[in-house]
Structure 1
Amino acid sequence: MSAQLTPIDPQRLRRDLLAAGYVVDDVLDRIGEAGQQGLGRNSTVPADVALGVATDPLAALIRLFVLQREVPEEQLAGVVDVAGLLDGGYLVRRGTGLAAAVDIRPYGSPDDDATGWIVADPTPGLDQVVEPTSPDYVLGVSPASTTLAQITMRTLVESALDLGTGCGVQSLHLSRHAQSVVGTDVNDRALRLAALTAGLNGRDVDLRNGSLYEPVAGQRFDLIVSNPPFVMSPPSSAESTLAYRETNYEGDSLVETLVRGAADHLEPGGSLQLLTNWAVLDTPWEERLRSWVPAGCDAWVIERERLDIYSYIEMWLTDAGLGGSPGWRAAYDDWLAYFDRLGIRSVGMGWILVTRAEREEPHLRFESWPHAVAQPVGEVFARHAAAVDAFQLPTEELLESRPRLVDVDEETLGVPGAEDPQYIVFRQRVGLLRAIKADTALAAVLGALDGDLSVGQVLAAVAQVLDLDPTELATGVLPEIRAALLDQLLIL
C-alpha cells in the first residue's frame, strides 16, 4: 500500500508553483521537444539533458515531480513548503535529498481552458524501471482520460457526476460547465489526491467515497461521466485488486450495472457518457448491450476498437507491472481460463452514451467506427439528441424544415477528361469525419441545403432542373437526408 497522505494548504502550494513558473508552457519550453517526446516513451533522459546543470526553482520542480529524481533539499528550500509537504506525505527523504511521493504536474486543455495542475501517483515504468503496481495506485492523465474529456459534451448544466474520479481530471473539466460537481471513488487515496487537484485549481468538488451509484443514492444529475474500472481481470483478493482499473465484478457486469442504473440517476434529458469496454461472446455484441439500456432511454454505442483476448490480456498484465516477472505466465493462464469460463471471445472498446430522452420509441444505435475522428467530439454527443429529433421528423415536417450543411467538404472523383465525375463525396471536416457518397441528384439536393430553402423547395427545384419525377426523387433522397441529419452532416 502507498504511504498515507494528510491535507495541505493547496493555495499556498499553488502560489509556490506559479512563482516558480511551474506551468505547462514554461515546462514544455524548458525540456524542449526531445524532452516531451522522451516522456511520451517513459524516458526522462532527454528532459534531464535539456535541464543540464540548472538548479533554479523551475528546474528543481521539473526534476522532482516530472522526472521523479532526487533533488537536494537546498534547491527546494524557499521554492515550496518543504516541511509541510514532508509532513503531509507528498515528499519523502531519499538518499541525500528529497523525492516526490506523488506527481504534481501542470495540465493544459486549450479546448475548454481546464488548465492548471493534476495530482496523481508517479508514472510507472519510467526509464525501464518496472515494479508491481500498488492496489491503491492513482493513475494520472492517460490517453483514456484525455479521450473521455474530449468526448464529453460541454453544454452548460446544473449538476454533473464524475463517477470513479481518480486523480480528479474529469471533475476539473466538468467544473468548467457544471454549476455543481460530485466526484466519487472507492479509493481513499484517490479522493485525497483529487481533493488536492481541485484545491490547486480553485474548484469546488463534492468528493465522496463509495462504489458506483451508492454515494449518490436518491440524486439525479444532468450529466454523468466515467472511465470506470472496467478491466475484466479474474477475481482476486481486495489486497491485490488494482482499484484504478478493476473490481471483482464478473466480466463486464460493472459496465452493465452502470448502464442499467443510469435512468435512476439522470434528470430528464440528462446523459451518461462512458469510455469503457465490453465482452464479445458468441452472440452479437449489439444484442447484449441493447438489453442493458434502461426503459425510456436512448443509447448510442460506438465500438472504436476490437481486441483479441491475447492482446487484451497482455496489455493489462504489462500495465500491472508483471512484464518480465516470474508470475507472468501463471497470471496469463488464469486470465485465459477465466475468459474461457465466461465465453469471452474478444473485447470491444469504445464509447457509450445513454440519454434519458423518454421517447415513446427509444432510439438505439450500435455501430463500429474504428476510423480517425477529429477530437474533441463532445459537440457531436451534445447535438445527438437534436439529431435524433431531426432524423425522426414526420415527412411533412421534414419537407418544411430548412437544414444546412455544416463543416462539410465536397469532393469529386472521376476519370480525367470525363464530362461527369464518377463519385461525389460529402465529407465532414470535424467530429466523426463521416462521409456520404452521392449521385448527381443527391449531390444537387445536399449542395442546395444552406438553411435558406426548405427541403421541399430544394427537391422541387432539383427535380425541375434534372428533369426528374418529383415523387421518385423524394423517395430516393429523403432517407439519405434523414441519415445526414442523424450523422450531423446536416444541422437544423
Structure 2
Amino acid sequence: MDPQLSPAVADALRTALAKASYSTDGVRALLGGSAHAALGRGEVEPAHRATRDAGELGVLVRMLLLGSVEPDAAVRAALAPLDPADAAAAGLLRPADRGDGDGWEAVLDLRPYGDEDGDWWVLSDLDRRRQERDHVTGVGAASLTLAAATARRPAGTLLDLGTGCGVQALHATRHAAAVTATDVAPRALAMARATFALNELDVELLGGPWLEPVAGRRFDRIVSNPPFVPGPPRVDFVYRDSGMGGDDALAMLVRTLPDHLAPGGVAQLLGSWLHVRGEDWPDRLRSWLPDGVDAWVVQREVADPALHVGTWQRDGGLDTASPLAREQAGVWLDWMAEERVEAVGFGHLVLRRTDGPPTVVFEDLHGEFEDPLGPEVDGWLDRVDWLRAHATDDALLGARLVLAPSVVLERYAESGTDGWNEVGAAVVRMDGPRWRHEVDEPAAALLAGCQGALALDELVELLSFAHDRPADELVAATLPAVREFVRHGLLRPAGP
C-alpha cells in the first residue's frame, strides 16, 4: 500500500513527532555518540539498549527506526493525538501480534533528517522491502552526496528530476521560490507527496519518464539523482536502473537538460560513465555536450567491473555468493566485456547555459575532504565568469589578485650525501576540495606577491628583474598557471 496522508493525519502525526522530540538532535541525544554511530553501520543492538526506559521518544525510535513491534498502549501514547488505526489506514503502520498482546509495527521508514536550518521528516521504504522492483530508498549516500554538492543560491524555479522520496526537493525549498519534482515511479511520487504533506511544503509533483512531465518548461536550477548505474539495458530496481544500456541515460540527460534551463540556469546531477578501452573518458563525455554550455565534471571514484557489479548487488540486498547473484553478475560482467568496459567512473556534473564561449573542464578529485562541495560549485561558476571577462592576456595582466588566506606552500626534499635536498614545492588550498598545484620558484614568488596592491603585469616585471628572466618568457610560463590558480580559488580578484 502506498502512503496516503490526509491533512488531518499529517497534522496529528506532525504534532506527535514534535511532542516526542523525534528530531535529529533528539534522536542523537537519546542514543549518544556510540549507539548513533553503530546505527549508521546497521548495528541496532546498542540503539535498542539506549532507548530502554526512554518514554515516548524511545517507543518511536524503536518502532520507526529499529523495526521493533511496540505494545498498543505505548504506541497510542507516543502517537497521540494520532490514533494508530488511522496511521495504519494511511499506510504507516500495521497491527502485529507480539505473542503477549496486540502491538504495532512500522510499514515505512519514517526518520528525522535536517540541515543547518532545521529538520524535516522523510518517508521511504524499509530495508526489508529492498529487493522489490519499485523500492523507494531513503536518505542514502547518493542523496547526501548530491545535497552536499548542490549550490544553494536563491532561485526562482527549481526542478528535482527523479525525486524519489523527495530529499533534494526538501533542500530546494530553502532557496527556491517554486519547486517542481518528478518521478516515473508511482510509489516514489506517493512517498514524496506524503513527505511534503508531513512537512507542510508546497511542491509541484508530476509523474512520467525523464523530462516528459516538464516538456516545454525551463528552470533556473535543476538537480537530479537519476538512475545512473551502468549495466545491461534492463530494470531490476527503478531507483537505480534506467532501462538503457551502459551510460546512455546519462548521455541523454547531458544532451537534453540544457534545453530545460533558463539563460544562466544551472543543472547539477550525479552520474556514472564508462571507461571504454581505446577511448579517453573526458572525450567520451565531451561528445555529449550541446553548444552553449559550461560544464564542470568531477570524477570522484573509479571502480573496476567486478567491484562495480558487486557493490550494486550488495546495495540491492543480494547475497553475492547465492546462485541468483552469481548468474546476474555473470550476465553483467559478460555485457561489460562485450562493450570493452575497463572501469566505471562516478562523480558530479555541473552544467550551465551560457551565451559566452563555453568553459568545459574535466578533473579527478579522489581524495577525501570534509567541506561540502556546494560552495565550491558557486565559486567555480563565479570564477569561470571572471576568467571569461579576462580572457585576453592584457586583461588578465591588468588585474589585481589576492592569494586566498587558506593557501599554504609545501616544500619537499629527499635525503642526499649532504643532507636534505629540496626537490619541489606545491601550493595547497586547505579548504574546500584541497586543490593542489606543483610550483617552481618564480610561480611561488608570484603567488606570494599577489596581495592586491599591484597588477599582475607589475608583479611579472619585478619577477623578471629578480630572476633575471625576460618578462615575455615569464608571461608565457605563468599566465596558464594563473588561470588555473583562479579557477581553483587559490587566487581571487582583489576588491575595488
User: Which 5+ residue runs of structure 2 have no aligned equivalent?
Assistant: none
- 1:414 Cα deviation after fit: 5.0
- C-alpha separation in 2, matches of 1:407 and 1:21: 41
Within the candidate set 305, 314, 320, 1:309 is matched to 305
In structure 1, the partner of 2:282 is 286
Separation in structure 2 between the aligned mates of residue 333 and residue 287 of structure 1, nearest angstrom: 29
1:48-99 per-residue CA deviation (whole Å, 9 max, x = no partner) reads: 01122x1511000000111111111111213321222111111111223111
Between 16-25 and 439-448, report the one with greater CA deviation.
439-448
Residue equivalent to 1:69: 68
**Residue of structure 2 equivalent to 1:187:** 185
What's the counterpart of residue 385 of structure 1?
Answer: 381
What are the equivalent positions in structure 2 for 1:134-173 lying under 5 Å apart?
Answer: 134-173=132-171
Task: Compute the displacement of 1:419 (Å).
Answer: 11
How far does residue 382 in structure 1 lie from its aligned partner after superposition? 1.5
Assess if the C-alpha contact under 8 Å between 1:235 and 1:250 holds in 2. Answer: yes
SS at the partner of 2:2? coil
Q: Is it true that 1:83 corresponds to 2:89 in the alignment? A: no
Counterparts of residues 23-422 of structure 1 (less than 5 Å): 23-52=23-52, 54=53, 56-80=55-79, 81=82, 82-96=84-98, 97-110=103-116, 113=117, 115-124=119-128, 133-236=131-234, 241-282=236-277, 283-323=279-319, 324-359=321-356, 361-392=357-388, 393-413=391-411, 422=423
Evaluate the alpha carbon distance shift between residue 407 and residue 216 of structure 1 in structure 2; reply closer, same or farther with a 3 A threshold. Answer: farther
Match of 1:7 among 5, 8, 15: 5
Q: Distance in 1 between matches of 2:15 and 2:354?
A: 45
- CA shift, 1:168, in A, is 0.7
Q: Give, in whole Å, the separation in 1 of the partners of 2:412 and 2:289.
A: 44
Map of 1:446-461 to 2, 5 A cutoff? Answer: 446-461=447-462
Letter in 2 for 1:98: W
Shift of 1:461: 3.4
Q: Is the 8 A contact 2:220 2:266 kept in 1?
A: yes
State the distance in 2 between where 1:431 and 1:258 align: 27
Aligned-residue identity in percent: 34
Partner SS for 2:351: strand
Task: Judging by fraction of residues, say which structure has more strand.
Answer: 2
- Where do 1:411-450 residues align within 5 Å? 411-413=409-411, 422-450=423-451
Task: Kindly provide the amino acid, as one letter, of the partner of residue 367 in structure 2.
Answer: H
The answer to whether the 8 Å contact 1:114/1:173 transfers is no
The secondary structure found in structure 2 opposite 1:249 is coil
Question: CA, structure 1 residues 30+133, in 2 after alignment: closer, same or farther (shift >3 Å)?
Answer: same
Identify which range, 167-176 or 327-336, moves more after superposition.
327-336
Kindly state the Cα deviation for residue 409 of structure 1 after the two structures are TM-superposed.
2.7
Cα distance in 1, alignment partners of residues 125 and 451 from structure 2 = 51
Q: Secondary structure at the match of 1:322?
A: coil
Measure, in 2, the Cα distance between the counterparts of 1:90 and 1:79: 14
Instruction: Letter of the 2:77 partner, please give it.
Output: G
> What's the TM-score once normalised by structure 1's chain length?
0.91
Q: Relative to structure 1, is the Cα distance of residues 217 and 464 closer, same or farther in structure 2, using a 3 angstrom cutoff? A: same
> How big is the shift at 1:250?
1.6
In the aligned structure 2, how far is the partner of 1:162 from the partner of 1:387?
A: 26
What TM-score comes out, normalization by structure 2 length? 0.91
Q: How far, CA to CA, are the matches of 2:404 and 2:11 in structure 1?
A: 44
Contact 1:280 1:346 in 2 (8 A): yes
Partner of 1:472: 473
Q: Retained in 1: the 8 A contact 2:62–2:68?
A: yes
Quote how far apart the aligned CAs of 1:457 are: 2.6
Which secondary structure does the structure 2 equivalent of 1:261 belong to?
helix
Q: Give the RMSD, CA atoms, in angstroms.
A: 2.2
The Cα shift of 1:114 comes to 5.3
> SS at the partner of 1:453?
strand
Give the gaps of 5 or more residues in structure 1.
Answer: 125-130
* 1:374/1:433 contact within 8 Å kept: no
The letter of the residue matching 1:24 is T
SS at match of 1:276: strand
Distance across 2 between alignment mates of 1:289 and 1:60? 50
